[in-house]
Amino acid sequence: MNTEDNSQIKTGGGISANTLKIIAILAMLIDHVAWAFVPWTSFLGQAMHIIGRLTAPIMCYFIAEGYHHTRDVKRYAIRLGVFALISHAPFVYFETGGLPHYFDNGIRLAQQTGVIYTLFLGLLALIVWNSRKLKEYVKWVLIILIFIASIPGDWSLFAVLWILIFGIYHGRFREQMLGFGIVSLFVVIFTLQTNAGAVHWGSLFQLGVFLVIPLLHSYNEERGYAEKHRWIRWIFYVFYPLHLLILGLLRFV
């Protein structure tokens, strides 16, 4: 099930992996500040959320890149899983102002969780897809189960699909972006629909995900500062729960 073809590797401009990740972090901060303090249907809110749409596709892209370049994919998966757990409480607090669970005739767990959980599941899906030990039908069953498990996560199965597409077509930029575009159209259509079936035009900011295409095209296949300073790889892992906690405190305290 591995369709990688390195003969079609994309060549772009001069943006390193580190620079793209910094862009993703800043876009995420702008997006979450908007969710916390700016009316989402206002012009400013829409503009900030459009910028925020850059984050998830960039991070999904580099999960796939990480899968193909890491020396130890199991260790990579464990790291994501650990930070998914660490990030759960800050995410729930940022969203609700409460803890991940509360006592009311028993313990009720919060259903939604952060994007690192979804990135973790996307990496697992890619590992399953490329496994040489599993039979084809087992792979499909496991991937479907991963899709279901991703529903409580931020960006849910859409992020898992993006990671699979970026990973399966690694080195083939046109195929990556075609698959990304198809999934992204479903994202836009899905979020525009209300429970009553009407169109919610306030969700048009989701179209901002397509702005990531020229950025990814400019990726120069280099790691940037992270090549010499390996500690930089930890910035996103630490920043994600930390900024959610700080924004949550500013929002609710």
How much is the average pLDDT of 150-172? 97
How much is the average pLDDT of 154-176? 97
CB atoms within 10 A of CB 48: 23
What letter does residue 132 receive in the DSSP assignment? S
6 pLDDT exceeds 50?
Answer: no
Residue 115, token pair as written in the block? 């994007």
Q: Which residues pair with 199 in a beta bridge?
A: 193
d(CA 228, CA 215): 23
Report angle CA 94, 24, 67 to the nearest 5 degrees. Answer: 105
The contacts of residue 163 (CB under 8 Å, 6+ apart) are 60, 63, 64, 119, 122, 123, 125, 126
Tell me the pLDDT of the chain averaged across its residues. 88
Instruction: Write the pLDDT tens digit of every residue in 11-31.
Output: 445 899 999 999 999 999 999
Name the residue ranges covered by the structural domains of the chain. Answer: 13-98+172-252
Q: Using pLDDT thresholds of 50, 70 and 90, give the confidence band for residue 101.
A: low
232 pLDDT exceeds 60?
Answer: yes
The answer, as to whether pTM is greater than 0.75, is yes
Distances (CA, A) of 167 to 58, 68, 117, 193, 200: 13, 8, 18, 29, 33
Per-residue pLDDT at 104: 52
Per-residue pLDDT at 131: 96
The contacts of residue 87 (CB under 8 Å, 6+ apart) are 113, 114, 116, 117, 240, 241, 244
Burial bucket for residue 156 (CB in 10 Å: 0-12, 13-18, 19+): buried
CB atoms within 10 A of CB 72: 9
Q: Which residue has the higher pLDDT, 43 or 235?
A: 43
Residue 149, token pair as written in the block? 């498990």
Q: At what angle do helices 73-96 and 115-129 cross, to 10 degrees?
A: 150
